[in-house]
Structure 1
Amino acid sequence: MHRQRIGNTALNKVLLFYLTVCFVPTFVWSITVNSPAELHASKGDTATLSCTFTSTSPPTSKMTVDWSYRPQTGGPPQTFFHFSSRAFPPSEGQFSGRVKWQGSPARGDASILLINATLNDNGTYTCSVRNPPDVHGSPTSHSVLTVTPRAARVRFSDVTLLLAFILLPSALLTFFLIGRILCPKKQRSQSKPTRSPIEVTEGEEYSTRPAAETVKSPTCCELCFMDPDEEEYYYNLKKTPSMEEEPYVESKC
C-alpha cells in the first residue's frame, strides 16, 4: 500500500507539471493582435494598414513585427516588411520605396503606411507580432485591402479656360442677339421736301424758312444695337445747324 501511494504521488506531480507547462503560458504569457477586417483606398492615396496589439509583458528589444501580403488572385503570402528595434522596409519588389513604419511599440501600435496605392495592391495583409515571452494567444491578424480607381476631378484651371474661351463669348453673342430682337430697327424717316426761300405761293407776300427737323435722341438700347448706316445718319443729322424761323416782318412798301 505504501508503494502504491508513492506511485500515485509521483504520477500526480508529473500530470501537474505537464498541465503547468502546456496551459499556464496560454493564460499568462499571451499576446493579442487586432486589425480592421476591411480597408478601402483610392488609387494614388496613402493607405494606413492599422495593427494594434496587447501584451502581458512590456515590449522589449526582442519584439518583432512582420507584415505579409497575399495577392487577391491567390498564392502563398510573402513577407515584405520587418521590424525589430528598427524598421526594415522592402528594398525590392512590388512594395519597394512605398512602405513606411508608422507604429509605436510602447503604445501597442504596429501600423505601417502604404504610399501611392495601386490596383495591384488589392489583397490580404497579415500583421504578426512577437514579444517574448508572450508568444501564445493570437499573434496574427488579417486585413483585406481594396483599392478602387479615383473619380475624375475637374481642375480649377480647366474650368477657367472653359469659361474664358467658350462660355463667355457665347454669353456675349446671345446677349447681342437678344438685344437686336428686343430693340428693332427704326425706319429711317424720309425728310419732307422744303420750299425754296424765294418761292412765293399765291396769297403770300413774303417767304419763310422751314422749321428745322426735330431729331429725337435715341435710347441707350437703340444706340447699342444701331446699324452703322443709321448711326452715321444720326450723327450727321445732329451736327447740321438748326435753322430758326425768321421773325415776321411787315412790308414797308
Structure 2
Amino acid sequence: MVWRQHRIIRLNIVVLLYLMVCFVLCPVSAMTVSSPAEVHSVRGNAVTLTCTFTSTSRATSRMSVDWSYRPQTGGPPQAFFHFSSLAFPPQDGQFNGRVKWLGSPARGEASIQLLNASLSDNGTYTCSVRNPPDVHGSPTSQTVLTVTPKVPTVRFSDVAVLLAFILLPSAIITLALLGRMCCPPRDKSQTQGYHSPIEVTPGDEPGFKQINRKEKNMTCCDLYFLVWPFFFFCS
C-alpha cells in the first residue's frame, strides 16, 4: 500500500512538472490585426475598408470578425457587420444593403466594401478579429473614413460640342462681317461706264487711277489671313 501511494505521488509530480514546462516554454500565441489609419473616398463611389490579421492558429469555424462604426460627431460604436463561417450583413440602419464581404480567413483577410459612400458615413470603423486559442495581442484595429463631395468635371465631348456649335459659327459670321465692311461692293456705273477714247486717253482717267489705288489696299484674303490666327488661338 505504501509503495502504491508513493508511486501515485511521483506520477502527480511528473504531470505537474510537465504542465509547468509546457506553460513556460509554450505560451499562448498572440494575434495582430492591422488596417490603414485613414481612407479617403468620393461620394457615390465604393470604398474598401481593409483589415488583415496574423495568427499562429489555423482559421476555423470558431473564428469571428466584427465591424463597428462610430460617427464623426461622436457617440458609442455601433456594430453593423458580423462574420462567423458566414457573412451576416446589416438588416437595417444606414448600412443596410451597402456592405459587401471581401474577406478570406484562410489568407488572413477580413476586409469589407462599403457601396455608394455618402457624407454621413464619415467616422471611425473598427475591425475586431477573434481566432481561438489566440486570445492575446491586439485583436482590433481602427480606420478613419473621410468622404468628400464629388467635384464636377468638364468632359472632352462637352468642349467639342461647345466649339462646334458656338465658337465656330461665331468666328465664321465675324469674318464674313469684317470682309463685307472692308470690301464693299463696287459701283457698276463707275467701273463699267462708257468713256470716249477721244476725250480721255486710256490710262489717264482719274477714276481708273483711283480704282486701281483702291485695289491695292487690303483685300478680304489679306484680312482673313490676318484675323484667323486670333480665332484659332481663342478657340
Distance 1:78 1:57 in 2: 29
Is 2:172 aligned against 1:175? no
Amino acid at match of 2:68: S
Aligned to 1:74: 74
Question: Where in structure 1 are there 5+ consecutive unaligned residues?
Answer: 1-9, 196-200, 202-217, 226-253
- How far does residue 109 in structure 1 lie from its aligned partner after superposition? 0.8
Q: TM-score, normalised by structure 2?
A: 0.69
Q: TM-score, normalised by structure 1?
A: 0.64
> Over alpha carbons, which structure has the higher Rg?
1
Aligned to 1:105: 105
- How far does residue 106 in structure 1 lie from its aligned partner after superposition? 1.1
Is 2:146 aligned against 1:131? no
Aligned to 2:117: 117
Task: Output aligned runs, 1:27-176, within 5 Å.
Answer: 28-156=28-156, 158-176=158-176
Distance 2:156 2:98 in 1: 30
Change (3 A) 1:59 1:74: same
Cα distance per residue 1:173-218 (max 9 Å; x no partner): 12223333554544545243467xxxxx9xxxxxxxxxxxxxxxx9
**Higher helix proportion (structure 1 or 2):** 2
Change (3 A) 1:187 1:24: farther
Aligned to 1:250: none
Question: Where in structure 2 are there 5+ consecutive unaligned residues?
Answer: 1-12, 199-214, 225-235
**Number of residue pairs the alignment of both structures matches:** 190
Q: CA RMSD in A?
A: 3.6
Aligned to 2:32, the other structure's residue is in SS state strand
Distance 2:61 2:81 in 1: 17
Task: Output aligned runs, 1:194-213, within 5 Å.
Answer: none
Could you tell which deviates more after superposition, 39-48 or 148-157? 148-157
Cα distance per residue 1:127-167 (max 9 Å; x no partner): 00011111211000000000011111224554354334322
Aligned to 1:126, the other structure's residue is in SS state strand
Amino acid at match of 1:170: S
Amino acid at match of 1:147: V
